[in-house]
Each structure stands twice: as C-alpha cells, then as structure tokens.
Amino acid sequence: MTPRYRIVSESPVRIWGLTCAERLRRQLARRGAREAAADQPEPSGAESVLLLDGGHLFDARVLTALVDAPGVVLLGSGSSARRAVAAHVAPAVADAALEVLCGERDPDTVEGVTVTRPETLASAFDARLLRSSSPTVLAVSPENRRALEDRLFGASYKGVTDFVTKFLWPRPARAVTRLCVRLGVSPNMVTAVGLMLVFAAWFLFARGALGLGLLAAWAMTFLDTVDGKLARVTVASSRIGHVLDHGTDILHPPFWYLAWGLGLATFEPLTPGLTLHGAIIILFVGYVVGRLVEGSFQVFLAGSGIFLWRRFDSFFRLVTARRNPNLCLLTTSLLLGRPELGLEAITWWTAVTSLVLLVRLLQAFLERARAGSKEPLRSWLLDVDIERDDSLAVRWFAPRQAVPAAEADRAAEVESGSHSKVEG
C-alpha cells in the first residue's frame, strides 16, 4: 500500500521553477501517494507514513526507493549528512519520526527504524537514463540554487547516447530549457513544434531544398533533446507526450533518408552498381534490423539495453547509425557539394552498424548459454566504482557530479559524524 506523506518544512527557493515541496508533490502524485493534512501526522487508514523535508532536493531514485522501504530514517547528503531529511515509518511512531526531522530527537531512539543514507538506500545505476551516478538529497539555498539546477539538468541527461546529443547539445539545451521554464512553455509544446519540423524536413528534402531541410532537421533534433529534459526537470512528463516523442523518434529517420534520395538531382555513388532504389532498401532494412536487435536484447537478455552491456557497446552508441550521426554525414556531403555521397555513406554505415549489433546480440546469447543462467545480463555500469575509476568510459558515461560548493565545504565531516545505526 502506498504511504500517505507529509512535507514537514518548505523552502521558497525554486529549482527549475518549482520549490522542493512542489517537486515532491508532483513526484509522489505520480507514484499514487496522497498528502496527509498538516495537522494529521498519523493519517487514518494508512499502513505507513512518509515524512519529508521540503527544504531538500531529492534524487528521484532516492524518493522511489524510500516509498518502497518502510522502517527507515534517511540522512541527507553534503551539508545535511548528519541531518534526518525523511522518514518512512509506521503510524505509531510518526510523531517520534517528526521530532527527528525537526531536530528534537535522535533517530537512534525511534523504535523499529534503521538510519540510512541516499547512496545506501538507492542504486547508483539508472537503467531508464542509461547512466550511473551517486544518489543524493541536498539542501537548497539561494546561494546554491543555480548549481543545483545545473546538477539536476545533468542528472536528466542520458549517460549513453550519440556524440551530438552528448557533447554538442547540453549547454545550448540547458539555456533553452531555462528559457522555456521562464516563459511557461510545456514539454508537450516543444514536442509539438518538433513534430511539425519532422514533416517540414521531409517536405523540404523531397522537394530538393536540402539545405533548408537540414536546418529543420537539426532544429528538430535539438528540440528532441530539450523536451525530454524540460519534462524531467519540471516533473511534467505526460503519457501523450511520451508516445508522441518516442513514436516520432522511432519512425521518422528512414523516411527522412527516403525524402533526401527523392530530392537528389542525380545519384552518382562511388559504389559500382548501387542504385538509389537499392540504397533506400538497404537503409530501411538496416534500420529495422538495428531496432529489432535492440528490442530483442531488452526483452530476452537485459532490460537496460544492448548499449549498456559492455564498455565497447556504450562507446559504439556514440557513432551508431542513428539520426544524429547520419545527419552529420548528410550535412558534410552537402557542404562538399555531393549530397548523393551522403546518402551512400549513411547507407553503408547503417549496414555496418546493424551487422555489428547483430554480432553483439549473438555474443550476448552465447554468453547467457555458457553461464547456464536465465538472469539478465549485467551492465558494466553496475560494477563501476564512480569515485575511484577514472577511465575514459567512466568519465564519459558515469561522470561524477560535483556537489555544490556550499555543500562540499562540510561533506568531509560525513564519516566522522555518522550515527551508530547508519547502514553500510
């Protein structure tokens, strides 16, 4: 049964347009939790009570784990490392837990609870966002507001993705996301504009206006980054937005390539015997095969996906023949005055990367068979020591996120001040 919750205190500081209390209410509403009245610390009919300090920014993974873990008092991170910031307890001890959060009682004196920390309660691995990072609960203040916004934006970004999304889009996407929050633009509005650009790019490509088509296509890919980040940092994602966003992402790329081919004045590839018709067939078949491989891996081998299996796979995702890397090839070919070579390049690159994915899928099935286990294959990110591993793979796909300066100044006191009953 989902616990009733109560937010103990609130801060007026807004992170991406929301106070921490407003953010908690949105996050918990998505989990089916209901808020208790302020004067009702022991909600009637509730099997457990969730008490939360509304002056802290909770990592979504921590909040999810906390909802599923009754009988705990949670300490914070950074400057709040010695302070209780949340509790999930039985109604009978809700008053005592409330005193703990208000600093009036030691958590060790509350019967039937265990004191824990964010990094112990929640996993560093986030399969949904294809990344690994230390979960935190950080105090907010006017001084660290901007730093926390940057941290939350970084945490909303997929760790494993193509090189354009990973290295070129973050800074401008953060600026546009901030502008959208300021203007009250919703994620679905951004998605709708992106959808219009999908059709605009297709039309322009097919008419031979390849340069204008590329402008529309690149604008769409940029907004495709913005809408997801905007939805995550404002806790404003919706089912219709999710369907439109992901449905569009999956369906439109090969049709763009078809339109590019239709818009070419001539097709004179370097490959002898390659026709425009043949190139389009290879592109469509290769694209479908690649998607089927990814889906098969998720269904039969590991829900986290093929690109999180080994470090090689995460690096390979940077350049796999998806929309953004292919657009780079098309853009380069147009700048060189040979747009047909761009289509030829993405044709063979799609074939090569799909073949690599097929080989990786077969290797994964063989490894599962040799192990004689039906357990999901383990992602390399699950075994990463984020604090000690300084390899390129970890720096790129599981980067350490700096704690805001105000928090870091006191973070070194964590271990020496630990409560006697703190887990792990």
Angle between helices 323-335 and 339-371 (to 10 degrees): 160
Q: Is 72:66 a contact under the CB 8 Å cutoff?
A: yes
Q: What percent of the chain has pLDDT over 70?
A: 92
pTM of the entire predicted model? 0.90
Of the pLDDT bands very low, low, confident and very high (cuts 50, 70, 90), residue 423 is very low
Q: Identify the band that residue 403 occupies on the pLDDT scale cut at 50, 70 and 90.
A: low
Residue 404 main-chain phi, psi, to 5 deg: -50, 145
Q: Which two three-digit tokens encode residue 288?
A: 């479908």
Q: Which amino acid is at 65?
A: A
pLDDT classification of 404: cutoffs 50, 70, 90: low
What pLDDT is stored for residue 281 in this prediction?
98
**Angstrom distances, CA of residue 339 to CA of 116, 212, 263:** 59, 13, 10
Residue percentage of the chain with pLDDT more than 90: 77
**Burial class (CB within 10 angstroms; exposed 0-12, middle 13-18, buried 19+) of 115:** buried
Residue type, 376: P
In this prediction, residue 420 carries a pLDDT of 36
Q: What is the mean predicted confidence (pLDDT) over 363-386? A: 91
Average pLDDT of the chain to the nearest whole number: 91
Structure tokens at 47: 């099997």
Task: Read off the pLDDT of residues 316-356 as tens digits, 9 standing for 90 and up.
Answer: 999 999 999 999 999 999 999 999 999 999 999 999 999 99
Give the alpha-carbon dihedral of 418, 421, 422, 424, to 10 degrees.
120
Which pLDDT band, with edges at 50, 70 and 90, does 413 fall under?
Answer: very low
What residues form DSSP beta bridges with 122?
Answer: none
Residues 6+ apart with CB under 8 A from 301: 309, 361, 364, 365, 368, 376, 377
What's the pLDDT tens digit per position in 155-193?
A: 999 999 999 999 999 999 999 999 999 999 999 999 999
Burial environment of residue 106 by CB neighbours within 10 A (0 to 12, 13 to 18, 19 or more):
middle
- Domains of the chain: residue spans and CATH: 4-125 (3.90.550), 146-382 (1.20.120.1760)
Longest CA–CA span in the chain (Å) reads 81
Strand-strand pairing, 49-54 and 14-15? unpaired
